[in-house]
Structure 1
Amino acid sequence: MHEQPMLSVRNLEKQFGPGCRMCKNPIGRQLEKNYCPHCRTVYACQNISFDLFPGEILGIVGESGSGKSTLMQCLYFDEELTAGEASINISDLDGENVFTLSNQQKRYIRNHYFGMVYQNPMKGLKMDFSAIGNIAEKLIAAGGRNVAEMEVIGKTLLEKVHIPLFRMKEEPRRFSGGMQQRVQIAKALSNQAPVLFLDEVTTGLDLSVQASVLDLIKKIQRELGISMIVVSHDLAVIRMLADRTLVMLNGAVVEEGLTDQILEDPQSPYTQQLVYSLL
């Protein structure tokens, strides 16, 4: 593993609501879970820091409402964060806090350096475009102009994610859930992004389809050496994919470490509960 992280995140905070004197100060915050009963502010992410290394899969696990999807949305610029900083190990952005960049620069990062696979394919795909048209859309956003070249890339990626090419002109709304997720993965890979975000990608899929999507993710990661952040409420998914894992509860990280270590010797009571429920 390289010493230099691909992505560094420090003290990320995201709150929904104005906060009040009872909850604004992080030290001695009086919350019920991650909610202030006085002013109704929700602290979705509280002081989250981590590094993602080249070629690493980082897992983020936690129950529904723990803040893991909000964290992903902040990292992919879908949500404005409240406080914090992040830097990407790319020469022209060296040392820059990407959260303070202009919208145009954030769009550039999304189009060239990040890929995202959403839990709900309707967020990541245009359902009335063809499967290959969805890939072309991402390529055009990243500066692609050569139609023949884009078609070759699109076909190659659809084959990689096991979408039959005779269906490439079909709209994703005519596909099964598992196929839609695979088209999303192909689209996310199309700009050769070094960082891929995967948010609950197997939720709602049949077990056999889940297994094939997870195999595909693992295979792609091995072949392309991409850094990935995988969010899931399912420890079995994290066990299969992640090298290291953060455990989140009520918007905060309660435990982190090598995935095997966390699964075999969980330290936090919440992680112990998660692990024992899996056994």
Structure 2
Amino acid sequence: MSAVPLLKVKDVSKFYGSRIGCRNVSFELHPGEVLAVVGESGSGKTTLLSCLSTRLMPSSGIIEYHMRDGQYRDLAHMGEAERRFLMRTDWGFVHQNPADGLRMTVSAGANVGE
């Protein structure tokens, strides 16, 4: 296992008004590790993964990724094009509902190209 984490999540919370999506989640993920996020329905798994994938911005906390240039970048401060590139090259995300991950107004080929 590498001493340098690929992903550092520090005190990530997401609130929907007064409702809690997830609160104070922290972990590090190292190369070669597998992390399972488990919990009851409504416990915040999808909210957390949406924050990690930048589909939602967390209400608080920091999500840093170890980029190919060796630097850590806070995902919330990356531009849209840079985040989309990261999702196409380094990350994979399988949505529960396929429509959440596809652009339904373009062809299947355009979605695959993305």
Which TM-score bucket, shorter chain as reference? 0.7 to 0.9
1:69 aligns with 2:69: no
Kindly tell me the number of residue pairs found equivalent between the two proteins.
113
Aligned to 1:10: 10
Aligned to 1:136: 112
Deviation readout 1:12-63 (Å, 9 max, x if unpaired): 011011xxxxxxxxxxxxxxxxxxxxxxx11111110011111221001100
1:84 aligns with 2:61: yes
CA distance in 2, matches of 1:54, 1:11: 21
Aligned to 2:91: 114
Q: Is the 8 A contact 1:12 1:84 kept in 2?
A: yes
Identify the match of residue 96 of structure 1 among 73, 76, 98.
Answer: 73
Which AA in structure 2 matches 1:50? Answer: F
Cα gap change, 1:95 to 1:55, in 2 (>3 Å): same
> 3-state SS of the aligned residue for 2:69?
helix
User: How far did 1:105 drift?
Assistant: 2.5
Unaligned runs of 5+ in 1: 18-40, 139-279
Name the one with the larger strand percent: 2
Q: Once the two structures are aligned, what percentage of the paired residues are identical?
A: 35
CA distance in 1, matches of 2:73, 2:93: 22
CA distance in 1, matches of 2:10, 2:3: 17
CA distance in 2, matches of 1:103, 1:6: 20
Cα gap change, 1:100 to 1:114, in 2 (>3 Å): same
| 1:96-245 → structure 2 map (5 Å cutoff) | 96-125=73-102, 129-130=107-108, 133=109, 136-138=112-114
Q: Is the 8 A contact 1:12 1:85 kept in 2?
A: yes
CA distance in 1, matches of 2:73, 2:101: 27
Structure 1-normalised TM-score? Answer: 0.37
Aligned to 2:32: 55
Deviation readout 1:175-203 (Å, 9 max, x if unpaired): xxxxxxxxxxxxxxxxxxxxxxxxxxxxx
Which AA in structure 2 matches 1:56? Answer: E
> 3-state SS of the aligned residue for 1:51?
strand
Larger radius of gyration: 1
Q: Is the 8 A contact 1:87 1:95 kept in 2?
A: yes
Unaligned runs of 5+ in 2: none
Name the one with the larger helix percent: 1
1:45 aligns with 2:19: no
User: How far did 1:126 drift?
Assistant: 5.2
